[in-house]
Amino acid sequence: MQLQEIFSQSDVLLDLPPHDKWEAIGALIAHLAATGKIPAEREAELLESVLERERSMSTGMERGLAIPHAAIEGIEKLAAVIGVVRDPQGLEFESIDGDVTRLVVLLLIPRAQKLLHIRTLADIARGLGDASVRETLIGSKTVEEAWDALESKTPS
């Protein structure tokens, strides 16, 4: 799956400004609700699902990537958004490698689609595992530049 199949261009957010991972997750869920990717009336419930998952185990990966996510009942398709933390101080996300996070990918995956869940996580980790893609995203001055960086990487 290509990274551009996971996100739409409007779901690439530059300058994610939160002070901590909890605020970042809230901002990304709010974006999905504001853009109609998730029902606004379920925003609080879906936020709590992702927060609950995050409390059980951090989704901070390696190399500046975090993938907070949850399997959700009652949604038909994947909802995804990527936040770019361009501040060099990054965002503390309790990552495996101890480094700060610069890219936060939030996923809401239909609970009934376990294979989609595994495949999407793997495709994101592979695609954003490429240092040149990460660096281009973080250095992007426009959403178009960031979008082009996602297009340049097709997970194999």
Of 102, 124, 116, 142, the C-alpha closest to 12 is 142
Pairing of strands 69-72, 12-13: unpaired
pLDDT tier at 155, thresholds 50, 70, 90: very low
- The yes-or-no verdict on residue 15 having pLDDT over 60 is yes
Architecture of domain 3-151: 3-Layer(aba) Sandwich (3.40)
Of 100, 98, 156, the C-alpha closest to 125 is 156
pTM: 0.92
pLDDT in tens, 82-129: 999 988 899 999 999 999 999 999 999 999 887 777 888 888 988 898
- Return d(Cα 28, Cα 33) in angstroms, integer: 9
pLDDT in tens, 28-41: 999 999 999 999 99
